[in-house]
Structure 1
Amino acid sequence: MKSSSSATSLATAPLSEPLRLGSLTLRNRVFMAALTRNRSVPTNYYQQRAKSAGLIISEGVLITPQGTEWPHAPGIWSREQIAGWKKITDAVHKEGSFIFAQLWHLGRVSHPDAPEQIASGVPVYAPSAIAARGGNFRFLPGEPGYVTPTAIDDPTTLLDLFEQAAINAKNAGFDGVELHGANGYLIQQFLDSTSNKRTDSWGGSVANRARFGLLALQRLIRVFGKDRVGIKLNPTGGYNDMGMPLEETIETYSYFISRADKLGIAYIDLVRYVDMLDPVIDGAKRGTPHDILATYGSLIKHAQVFSNGGFTGEEAAATVKAGQASGIFFGIPWITHPDLAQRLQLGRPLDNEIDFTTLYGKYYAPEAEQRKGYVDYPAADYSDLELKKSSKRLSMGNRVLNLLRRSH
């Protein structure tokens, strides 16, 4: 049985409360997660969603040219890119929302034959020369998978890239930055013992494996200040051939989260286990499902705890109400509902079906075609609210008129 609009809006009411995030006041707790969708083309995608989102995290922004699986994935290393992002941040601010740039380095899941990687003039770098299993570079001939990367000699050169990207993001008008520490990319590759087999100060012990990510956070803090920096983590792993045994996972992430929290950053986004992000590799799932909020939430004393991963509106509101998280990131619901936060607030159904045929766009398709399944999902019908407002104004006007008549 479907709940009424009023009942649904009551159930999701905790999500409508404003939230203080450092020096920012977010208008609600319905946040838009980073969504990589091959669409670095001129659209009003972010502006549409900024009309109701409390906080927006950009799609992953590459900090250096890389052989990514996704054409049209944006970067932030050139003047042209900074100018392009400035248009987006201005549009988001115009709608009363805030936007953080998610800073992204793919590490070993790049490909040397991709045009971007060739143009960069550097090899595919990673903590260790260990290839990730899987991979699907659909825009390259054949069926190329991941390659064995080159172990980076001096990881501080990669930290320099993160710091410069943060400088560029600040110049582009972003309100802050999120370090992408999830989904098997560079930060997680250093953290995970299956991808980091170094024997120097960057590998081996938990503290050594955590070092790169913690130093990256410090570089971002140097640019934005601690209250404008967040990090996204996925301890349950799986994606891009990530995942340690459960006991080691808990030990590693407990250490990392505790140390990151002591840096005073604005938030830590803990991504729950999502089955579709845990592919079968060599006949078995790779991830380590466990309750991330129960396991790590109590370790976070200073940062806001955010979460992500398949939440319904009602479940998100219950999580916030219970004090397990201060806000919730949504992914796919934002793709299909540009007015998601307003729908949840007012009890409107999430009834737009996703068009999976256009989810990632067609590689190098014309701009008009890239807009399909991207900025053409309709908002809900709120005409009944306008009628109620008009009726309320009319009723108030009649009462005033009657009072005036009586006074005469």
Structure 2
Amino acid sequence: MHQHLHQVQAAMSSSSSASDVSSILQPLTIGQLILRNRITMAALTRSRSVPTNVPNDINLEYYVQRARGGTGLIVSEGTLIVQQGTEWQNAPGLWSNEQVLAWKKITDAVHAEGGLIFAQLWHLGRSCHPDAPEQLASGKPVYAPSAVAARGGKFRFLPGEPGFVTPTAIDDPRVQIEEFKQAAIHAREAGFDGVELHGAGGYLVHQFLDSTSNIRTDSWGGSIENRCRFGLEALKELVSIWGNKKVAVKLDPSGGYNDMGMPLQETLDTFRYFITEADKLDLAYISLVRYTPGRDVMYDGKLRNTPHDVLASYRPFIKRSALFLNGGLTPSEAATLVASGQIDAAVFGRLFIGHPDIAKRLERGLPLDAKMDYTRFYGHGPHLSVEEQRRGYSDYSEVTL
């Protein structure tokens, strides 16, 4: 992974003129939303909501910087729908009134800078650990579609860096769907412009989709239609709260991460069905993470990913929703894809770590060459001072001319 990060950084180090990337600097209308350009900031888990799981002033500074930098759409870091659903310490949530009020400060500030922001709704499912602080505080076990443990796992802040454990099978998935719905209500109260369902990364929605993690024999497992049911029912509930063109979903068909991945034909059939049905809900966008070699994952000496051309495989099945593409894109590559009509917007992730103002830099032909400190990608706990929390998070320079 680190080799891939350096390749991305190297690709960005040269200056890009405005003419090279003009297509991604054009506005995009999605329903009643007008994105000032086609540059989207991906959800980036940064673990800075110290001392607990409530957004703070450091988070506020971080999001305002990226709104001020001209970003078309900001997608919040993965935002937990319940305390039980995470292994991440200091990741923000949306299950309490305190969190809603804290997020409201951020969304108001983003809007004051002319930006738009979606909340990414997140539940990790089996990718949790029973000894994680929030999991312990919830008093509940690690839940998943089935009692099937993921291989691997690394919990940096737990002694001994333990791996994944066998989860407790969810009894009635409608309980978790209701939790997503309640989080969507809270997101609306917090002033977000919409919500993105996290259906990738080997997390709960993804676990229901994948036949290796979902071995249920009831109406929530087995057939493709049954495995897709959880994510589709969750999307329907989100749309019932937000309406059309305000709900999105992120998908990662090539899998790999957190021990996900099916044979190619099963992958194609599953995601084509899910995307076809999701698109009928008139979503704001469907965000696809493409396969890149740098994201390959090995378990037991075998490749876990399912390499294939994600864009070509699923683009024909998206007819009503916008299509956003994620996965190591360069601005010039993204501009070519937008100009040719293959995608509607590009999603950039790690580039936003060191460049709060990607859009402004591209407009002015300035390089994306920040020296990013990847050791500061994630926070390191509530014991650090404010200045230490800001390091590698909100202390990068911005274009001010």
- For 2:7, the equivalent position in structure 1 comes to none
Q: Relative to 1, partners in 2 of residues 1:2 and 1:30: Cα closer, same or farther, differing over 3 Å?
A: closer
Matched, 1:49 2:66: yes
- For 1:63, the equivalent position in structure 2 comes to 81
Aligned-CA RMSD value: 1.6
Separation in structure 2 between the aligned mates of residue 253 and residue 182 of structure 1, nearest angstrom: 11
SS at match of 1:53: coil
- For 1:340, the equivalent position in structure 2 comes to 358
TM-score (norm: length of structure 1)? 0.91
TM-score (norm: length of structure 2)? 0.92
Identical residues among aligned pairs (%): 60
Q: Cα deviation per residue 1:3-52 (whole Å; 9 max; x = unaligned)?
A: 996x7210100011100011101100011000001111422000000021
Question: Among 10, 25, 29, which residue is 2:19 paired with?
Answer: 10
- For 2:31, the equivalent position in structure 1 comes to 22
- For 2:327, the equivalent position in structure 1 comes to 309
Question: Among 160, 165, 186, which residue is 2:183 paired with?
Answer: 165
SS at match of 2:57: coil
Separation in structure 1 between the aligned mates of residue 222 and residue 315 of structure 2, nearest angstrom: 26
- For 1:38, the equivalent position in structure 2 comes to 47
Separation in structure 2 between the aligned mates of residue 3 and residue 351 of structure 1, nearest angstrom: 4
Separation in structure 1 between the aligned mates of residue 43 and residue 318 of structure 2, nearest angstrom: 22
Matched, 1:243 2:261: yes
The AA in structure 2 aligned to 1:19 is L
Shift of 1:346: 1.9
Q: Cα deviation per residue 1:171-216 (whole Å; 9 max; x = unaligned)?
A: 0000000000001000000000000000000000000000000000
SS at match of 1:287: coil
The AA in structure 2 aligned to 1:194 is T
The AA in structure 2 aligned to 1:373 is G
Question: Among 181, 187, 212, which residue is 2:199 paired with?
Answer: 181
Structure 1: where are the runs of 5+ without partners? Answer: 383-408
Q: Structure with the greater relative contact order (CA < 8 A, sep ≥ 6): 1 or 2?
A: 2
SS at match of 1:170: helix
User: For this pair of structures, how many residues does the alignment match?
Assistant: 381
Q: Structure 1 stretch 303-312 or stretch 41-50: which is displaced more?
A: 41-50
Separation in structure 1 between the aligned mates of residue 12 and residue 230 of structure 2, nearest angstrom: 48
Q: Structure 1 stretch 277-286 or stretch 185-194: which is displaced more?
A: 277-286
Which 4+ runs in 1 deviate beyond 4 A? Answer: 1-5
Separation in structure 2 between the aligned mates of residue 361 and residue 10 of structure 1, nearest angstrom: 37
Separation in structure 2 between the aligned mates of residue 2 and residue 272 of structure 1, nearest angstrom: 19
Q: Cα deviation per residue 1:88-119 (whole Å; 9 max; x = unaligned)?
A: 10010000010000000000011111121122
The AA in structure 1 aligned to 2:57 is P
- For 1:396, the equivalent position in structure 2 comes to none
SS at match of 1:226: coil
